[in-house]
Amino acid sequence: MKLSHEKIREKRRISTKHKIVLWVVFALFLIYAFTIIYPFVWATLTSLRDRDSFGLNPLAFPDKFMWSNYVRIFDLFIVNGVGLGNMFFNSIVYTALGTLFSTVSSTVAAYCIGKYKFHGKNLLYSIAIFTMIIPVVGAMPATYQLLTRINFKDNLVLISLLWGSGFGFNFLLLFGFFKSISWSYAEAAHVDGAGHFRVFWSVMLPQAKPALIAVAIITSIGVWNDYLTPFLYLENMPTLSYGLYEFEITARMEREYPLLFAGIMISTLPLLIIFIAFQKTIIENTVAGGLKG
Amino acid sequence: MLAKTKNKVYKTIFLGLMLAFPIAHFLVFWLYVNFDALLLAFKQEMNGELFYSLNNFKRLFTELSIRDSNIFLYLRNTLLFFPAGTFIGLPLSILFSYFLYKKVPGSKFFRVVFFMPSIISAVALTMLFRYVVTTTGPLGKLQEILRISPAIDFLGDEKYAIWTILFYSVWVSFGYNIVLLSSAMGRIPTEIFEAGEIDGVGMRTEFFRFVVPMIWPTISTLIILGVANMFNVIGPVLLMTGGTKDTGTLALYIYNQVKYANENVYGYATAVGLFFTVILLPVVYGVKYLLEKVGQDVQY
């Protein structure tokens, strides 16, 4: 197709306009980004300050860098008798198990419902959608009573089982993913005599790896930062998120704000590093399709 | 014939083993717990005798009919979060994603920064926010410079507290939405845009006529999840004010009853939660139906 001069001029006009719009948006983005970054810069600097000089002027630049805050915090950040080191450990166990249960459970559910035909398949799909879009707010007291009765409280392993629902948002992400990948390799493997487990494990899962990584990372962020569950059920096994909440009260009383901010930094850094490392995988593979059924 | 039956048995065993855990989890932590909650809402104990009554629900209706009851306030506050998220937060997220997709200068950097509020523990993030908005923090300083006196205490003053929390919840909400929307936009076949540009289409047309319809399934899912979580507002309020300064919400009320009160108030807390879930049910499915009507499901 040959473009007329007029069309070309029109196109050029639009592209200049595009550029102006993009630069205006850039400026707005910069302002928003500043409001996100500034608190962190401030927190980082504050975490290195001396308690008394912070008290005099919370906004000032540190006059000397108190790296010792990051050592002292290991002695002073204690919640319900548990120190920072142990809280870190609890957070890692809780996150690893919660992520594992959630990812495995939603993977198998999404795979079976997405790739097999069987009785009850539609029922299971409807349940998955229903439980996701109708969160029952009033179930909290009953859940609490149940978990107290069966002695789940303060048990990291058992409490992380709460994350093992196969029918949440992760199900939706993975269901869409499994639907979209072809069954032809699996068919070929079946013809070659591979069983269902083998096909699942060696043919389908490798293809799903990027999506699984994305889901696992997003889940792990949620579990690591979860404070509502630890608040209720892990009082004597505090994770970092919950510990930080409790520590704030102590820190406020003793005016140890720099230590509090050091704690914030310690709880934040691991996730930030993981996210930046896996950014591309996450953004390319986190696809939520429509809700049907 | 025999081989076929054998195959079927294998398939059943496979599915049974695979689905055992998710189904067991659903039966215990959803079905059983909710059934129990239903009983709990009607259960009543008097003189050591158990019986079932509608008392909890009667009490709820009475409180709801009183304009300045706590429950009424919790309901009002709760209902503010959904429009803030869906009518302000979501459109902004879509615009953000669109401009990132159009490769605004520095889009790689912005992508990471915009997701930061979703990575950082809400406990830490609210803490930072609180110190930033106190009268002695950076925002207080700014008010001093602007000679606003007396300085507004955004979280300490009943007049502003809930609005400050709402603002915060929108301000930090873009992360996941942007990931999901960007991912959907990344899958739009580029030929569409190339054709669009030749036809001399401006950005606005491109956005409304091409991009939004193409990612409609994702948008509608986000809207539905927004409606679904309408009554599920706890986090920011708990961390910001703990529900003081007239900022309480229904879910936080239930949460606090579980955390701090003793078991004999569980019935009423459960009744409150169940009642609003039951109201929500037709709303969610209604919205879902409408959204399906509005946009056809695009496959590409």
Q: What is the pLDDT of residues A264-285, one digit of tens each?
A: 888 888 888 888 888 877 777 7
Beta-strand ranges (E) seen in chain B are: 43-46, 49-52
| Mean pLDDT of all residues in A214-239 | 91
Residue B91 has pLDDT above 90, yes or no: yes
Question: What is the chain B residue with the closest CA to A142?
Answer: B37
Q: Whose CA is closest to B225, among B300, B163, B173, B190?
A: B173
Q: Cα–Cα distances in Å, from A51 out to A111, B75, B194?
A: 54, 41, 59
Computed over every residue of chain A, the mean pLDDT equals 87
User: Over 80: is that where the pLDDT of B96 sits?
Assistant: yes
Give the mutation candidate from B60, B135, B179, B223 for the A interface (greatest A CB count, under 10 A): B179
Query: How many other CB atoms are there within 10 angstroms of residue A257's CB atom?
Result: 20
Q: What is the β-pairing status of strands A82-83 and A78-79?
A: antiparallel
Pick the residue from chain B with its C-alpha nearest to A223.
B121
Tokens standing for residue B124: 């830490």
The residue of chain A with its CA nearest to that of B217 is A290
- pLDDT band of residue B198 (cuts 50, 70, 90) is low
B121: left (phi over 0), alpha (psi -120 to 50) or beta: beta
pLDDT of residue B73: 94
Q: How far is CA A89 from CA A137, A269, B24, B267, in A?
A: 31, 15, 29, 37
Reported as a pLDDT band with limits 50, 70 and 90, residue A292 is low
pLDDT for res B13: 93
Task: From chain B, pick out residues whose CB is under 8 angstroms from the CB of A289.
Answer: 217-218, 221
Interface of B with A in 194-233 (CB under 8 A): 197-198, 200-203, 216-218, 220-222, 224-225, 227-229, 231-232
pLDDT band for position B52 (cuts 50, 70, 90): confident
Please name the residue ranges forming H helices in chain A. 5-47, 51-56, 69-76, 84-115, 121-133, 140-149, 156-160, 169-180, 184-191, 196-198, 205-225, 228-233, 240-253, 257-285
Confirm if B230 and B280 have CB atoms less than 8 A apart.
yes
pLDDT of residue A181: 86
Cβ within 8 Å, pair B138-A43? no
Contacts of B29 in chain A (CB under 8 A): 143, 162, 165
What does the CA dihedral B214, B220, B221, B227 come to, rounded to 10 degrees? 160
- Do A232 and B258 count as a contact with CB atoms less than 8 A apart? yes
Which residues does A56 contact at the CB level (< 8 Å), separation at least 6?
none
pLDDT at A29 exceeding the cut of 60: yes
Q: Which two tokens stand for residue A113?
A: 């419902």
How much is the pTM? 0.89
d(CA B242, CA B253): 10
Instruction: Give the model's pLDDT for residue A3.
Output: 57
Query: Cβ contacts (< 8 Å) between A58 and chain B: which residues?
Result: 131, 136-137
pLDDT at A103: 96
Asked if A29 and B110 come within 8 Å (Cβ–Cβ), the reply is: yes
Region B76-94 average pLDDT: 95
Give the minimum alpha-carbon distance from B131 to chain A in angstroms, rounded to a whole number: 9
| Partner A, chain B 127-156, Cβ-Cβ below 8 Å | 127-129, 131-132, 136-138, 141
Mean pLDDT of all residues in A93-99: 96
Q: Which of A158, A170, A203 is nearest to B180 (CA)?
A: A170
Separation in Å, CA B40 to CA A86, A147, A162, B33, B273? 37, 15, 21, 10, 11
Q: State how beta strands B49-52 and A78-79 pair.
A: unpaired
Query: What is the pLDDT, as a whole number, of residue B300?
Result: 42
Q: In A, which residues are within 8 Å of B299 by CB distance?
A: none
Over residues B160-186, the mean pLDDT reads 91
> What are the tokens at A195?
């069983």
Q: Report the share of chain A in percent with pLDDT over 90.
A: 40
Confidence (pLDDT) at B231: 92
B299 pLDDT band, cuts 50/70/90, is very low
pLDDT of residue A107: 96
Please say if the pLDDT value at position A293 is more than 50.
Answer: no
Is some CB atom of chain B closer than 8 A to the CB atom of A36?
yes
For B126, name the nearest residue in chain A, comparing CA atoms only.
A245
Question: With bands split at pLDDT 50, 70 and 90, how would you rate the model's confidence at B210?
Answer: confident
Contact B40 A141 (CB under 8 A): yes
- Residue A131: which of B265, B64, B25, B54 has the closest Cα? B25
When CB atoms are compared, the residue of B14, B136, B270 closest to A196 is B14
pLDDT of A286 strictly over 90: no
A14 vs B177 pLDDT, higher one:
B177
Alpha-carbon distance of A104 to A95, in angstroms, equals 14
pLDDT given for residue A218 in this prediction: 87
- Give me the residue from B32, B138, B186 closest to A59, CB to CB: B138
B8–chain A Cβ distance below 8 A for any pair:
no
Residue B245: pLDDT over 80: yes
Query: What mean pLDDT, rounded, does chain B reach?
Result: 88
